Amino acid sequence: MNAESQLRELEAQAMAARNAEQSRSAAFLFERARGVALDMGLAGRAFDLGIRAAEAHGVAGDRLRGLTLLTELLAEVPADASRWAIYSASHQRVEFHLYDTEEPDYRRIDKLIDNLDALGAELGWPADRNRDIPYHRSRLLTYQGRWAESLEWAEVAWARQPGEGIDPSWIASSAATRALNLGDVAAAKRWLALIQSDHWPKYAQTARSAIRLCVALWENDGSGAVAALLQAEEGERSRQREARAGLMEPGISALLVSGSYGDPLDPRHPANMRHASFPKGYLRVPYQAYLWHCSKARIRLAGLRYAVGMAPVDDCYYRKSQELVPRASARLPAEINSRVRTAQQACDDLQLVADRLDNAFDCSFRREGVAMLRGRIQEIADNCAL
């Protein structure tokens, strides 16, 4: 088989894996094809294949590897690189700067979105047909805790059908989450029904399970939340996708609120096991670290409630307030003091990341969330006369 035939075969295999939502396989095959293209001196074709490999790494959950490859590619863009590849690279840069940068800055992200808009115009996409731009603006507003404005931009993105850019199922999933942030569970359920995709059916199925998980938490349905979590995790595995903090956070909340697994501070508790399994390399990324530390603080608070003898409560949406009980009802009275301290320390650790992200995105909602967790811990401590 000559080099051109080998390249075509690898490209076909890579695209087949991508279309089947086998992300890790697609990333591996695109990288192999890129290597062959480089050996043949086909710089533009190698660039295009590298961009697809970076995208596949991101979809598989290995976003840092994707970012490393993307950075390498953008350091020297060949003259014959396709406009599509350059647009795709810019699209990925926006996503990486939202989710995975170690130095978040909303102004930089805003400029990247403007640049993406201009590149879309160069591709011949009318401004009122490009779904990527309003979708990214919606995501940026989410990072600032501006839920209503974020939902409005998601609605703009959704209305651009038919259009170009991101699959509508991603938009519907994001809109459902924003509706829950605004306390409109009925709207969240309407958006949930719209999470459908002919191109990415496995993603849509997984996204529906993830939204059902959040709706169950909102409704204080512990068993329903755990069932939805298991479905979402199975969907992630079917897409060859690694565990991410985005699913870890509501998943841990589901396992804590169910109250079916004993002491939340037992290392064998499934919430602890999921928390411990998260790749520590991602903790240098503030967004991922925030979700990890937020989950840790909730585990510690749940462990305190367990020791005191209180019923479990969802701290994600906190629609049902914790119910205080006399200290005489404690399950583990000798551990209450130490669990108050470890819960407070977990909030201290969370505070550092919350401050950094709120400063980067010019907002305060993460700090406010930490203050609410501290308040619940203090309420329990005061009730136990500590």
pLDDT digits (tens, 9 = 90+) for 135-171: 999 999 999 999 999 999 999 999 998 889 999 999 9
Q: Which of 58-72, 206-220, 311-325 has the lowest mean pLDDT?
A: 58-72
Closest alpha carbon to 117 in 130, 135, 101: 130
pLDDT tens across 209-230, in order? 999 999 999 999 999 999 999 9
Whether the per-residue pLDDT at 274 is higher than 80: the answer is yes
Share of the chain above pLDDT 70, in %: 98
Q: Which pair of tokens denotes residue 166?
A: 């991101």
- Using one digit for the tens of pLDDT, what is the confidence trace for 257-271? 999 999 999 999 999
Q: How confident is the model at residue 280 (pLDDT cuts 50, 70, 90)?
A: confident
Res. 338: pLDDT tops 70 = yes
Q: What is the pLDDT of residue 245?
A: 58
Q: Whole-angstrom Cα distance, residue 55 to residue 69? A: 10
For the chain, the domains span 1-124, 128-241, 261-386
128-241 sits in which CATH class?
mainly alpha
| Residue from 280, 296, 283, 290 nearest 356 by CA | 290
Taking the model in full, what pTM does it have? 0.93
Q: Looking at the DSSP assignment, which residues form a beta bridge with residue 378?
A: none
Q: Residue 162, preceding bond cis, omega within 30 degrees? A: yes
Residue 321 pLDDT: 95
Per-residue pLDDT at 62: 84
